Amino acid sequence: MFLTFFVISHPYSTDEMAKKIQDPDFWYSFLLPYVNWNTRRAYRRFEVHGKEHLPKDSAVIFGVNHSNTLMDALVLLSADNIRKVFIARGDIFKNPAVAKILNFLRILPIFRIRNGVAAVRQNDDSLNKAVDVIHDHVDLYLFPEGTHRTKHSLMRMGKGLFHIALDANKQFGDKNPVYIIPTAIEYGDYFRYRSTAMINFGEPINVTEFIKNTTEENEAVTINQLKDILSEEISKLFTYIPDDEDYDAIWEIVKMKNEKRAGGLYKKMLRNRATVEKVLKYREEQPEQAKNLFERVMAFAQERRRQKISVMSTAKKYPLVNFLWKFIVLLIGLPFFVASAAVNLPVWLTTLIIKGKLKDKAFSNTVSFGVKLVLFPIVFVVGTILLFCNLPWYWALAGTVLLFYSYSLFVDYCELCRRWISDVRWTFKDKLRKQYKALNLNNLF
């Protein structure tokens, strides 16, 4: 059905069908810099680590944790200017028009058995295309968990990535080694626009060497072994917390311990991991005390959220000083905020309306990014024309520069205001602060 629609609707259908998904495309290349720039602007801090691990001129598949819907792919896309192809779950390709768009975006479908037997039969075509992608030394990215989840943990991995790796190794592994690259993305916040994002590439897994050195003839067993290796390697690259009944308490402890310490995203991740390790060791050595601590931590977290106090405020040694300097900054920036809010009304109002209809809050950042990507250029062009039509050129030019950064200024001001209000609340909540102090986290961990 999709191919029929494609042939009828596209004037260059024969050429397009012959064209590989990884081949250069004018419109894709034209739009990519704008999309990548917006992706990086969607985060206050954006870091990429471990690129020195990536093998050159090899068949490479990236296995990545999946925690933030479409933003995961966009963040990976903006890491560098190297060509990439992604694989996504097949059910989003049901609509032919959407399928065309996804194909343009260099995304291949892979179906699961719950999508139906007929759909699963289409996987052979996708897998063959995927093998061809890495044969051409184009980076292939997969999210082997199969679906997103806003947690610092990993779900059980599917088999698609490993079938591609083994098929590629059979076809050309003797001439061109096949590698799987463990990759992790860590976000400062899964739901807030203009948070932080870090990509961390790990040591390559040489699939060709692994197959050569194994005596296992059962492919299913080999796949399970590779799944275990990849899962273990990815878990080393971000703040990994076992997904058990204590997950929420451990994550609360990590945030309270490390939220405000400086040093960059990578160093913060290392501190987070060190804290997790200490907490897990404490739980193993003193299970009863740990259980009691976790209960008290969750009781504190519940009360903190009820009183709308950010975990960042709890990390402040001198909250009064913090809320005073933030007040001064907010006061100075108020005129710019009012102007930014006014000119960007169509953007943030549309964002709020769409977010209000979301069933899965994990899509919040994707919505914020998408609305800004589409509407802000219109706001900018119209605003620039009005400025130059009504002001001297030098004032219009200055206004255009401010307009260019206005949406980021608006979002950052709102975030600073939220934190300031939280600091005010935290300063005058003596009972809650005593409850926090009684947790004694700094001495325990």
pLDDT band at 8 (very low <50, low <70, confident <90, very high): very low
pLDDT over 70 percentage in the chain: 94
Angle at 85 between CA 372 and CA 370, to 5 degrees: 10
How many Cα neighbours within 13 Å face the side chain of 317?
Answer: 4
pLDDT for residue 321: 81
For residue 319, is pLDDT > 90? no
pLDDT for residue 1: 34
Question: What CATH number does domain 2-234 carry, 3.40.50.2000, 3.40.1130.10, 3.40.50.2300, 3.40.1160.10?
Answer: 3.40.1130.10
Closest among 344, 367, 345 to 355, alpha carbons compared:
367
344, amino acid identity: N
The arithmetic mean of pLDDT across residues 233-251, rounded, is: 96
Residues 282-312: pLDDT tens digits?
999 999 999 999 999 999 999 999 999 999 8
Contacts of 3 (CB under 8 A, 6+ apart): 17
The arithmetic mean of pLDDT across residues 3-7, rounded, is: 34
Closest among 71, 281, 83 to 190, alpha carbons compared:
71
pLDDT band at 204 (very low <50, low <70, confident <90, very high): very high
Count of CB atoms situated within 10 Å of the CB of 2:
16
pLDDT for residue 116: 61
Taking CA atoms, 135 is separated from 24, 57, 140, 219, 419, in Å, by 16, 10, 10, 21, 49
pLDDT for residue 122: 75
pLDDT for residue 118: 62
Contacts of 433 (CB under 8 A, 6+ apart): 426
Taking CA atoms, 80 is separated from 73, 74, 342, 349, in Å, by 13, 11, 34, 32
The arithmetic mean of pLDDT across residues 75-87, rounded, is: 94
pLDDT for residue 89: 81
Could you tell me the two tokens for 385?
């024309």
For residue 125, is pLDDT > 90? no
User: In what helix (H) or strand (E) does residue 395 lie, and over which residues does it extend?
Assistant: helix 393-404
For residue 317, is pLDDT > 80? no
The arithmetic mean of pLDDT across residues 234-238, rounded, is: 98
- Report which of residues 95 and 27 the model is more confident about: 27
The secondary structure of 84-98, three-state, reads: EEEEEEHHHHCCHHH
For residue 157, is pLDDT > 90? yes
For residue 407, is pLDDT > 90? yes
- Taking the C-alpha atoms of residue 379 and residue 376, their distance in angstroms, rounded to an integer, is 5
pLDDT band at 100 (very low <50, low <70, confident <90, very high): confident
Highest mean pLDDT among 13-22, 343-352, 419-428: 343-352
What is the chain's length? 445
Residues 16-45: pLDDT tens digits?
446 899 999 999 999 999 999 999 999 999
Residue labelled with tokens 């960007």: 344
Taking CA atoms, 369 is separated from 2, 69, 297, 323, in Å, by 29, 12, 34, 29
The arithmetic mean of pLDDT across residues 81-92, rounded, is: 88
Residue labelled with tokens 């405020």: 313
Q: Are strands 139-142 and 178-187 parallel, antiparallel or unpaired?
A: unpaired
Which residue intervals of 286-392 are DSSP H helices? 287-306, 311-314, 319-343, 345-356, 364-390
Closest among 413, 61, 75 to 265, alpha carbons compared:
75
- Taking the C-alpha atoms of residue 260 and residue 278, their distance in angstroms, rounded to an integer, is 19
The arithmetic mean of pLDDT across residues 43-71, rounded, is: 94
pLDDT for residue 411: 97
For residue 57, is pLDDT > 90? no
pLDDT for residue 188: 94
- Report which of residues 123 and 87 the model is more confident about: 87
Which range, of 210-219, 269-278, 334-343, 353-362, averages the lowest pLDDT?
Answer: 210-219
Average pLDDT value for the chain: 90
pLDDT for residue 258: 84
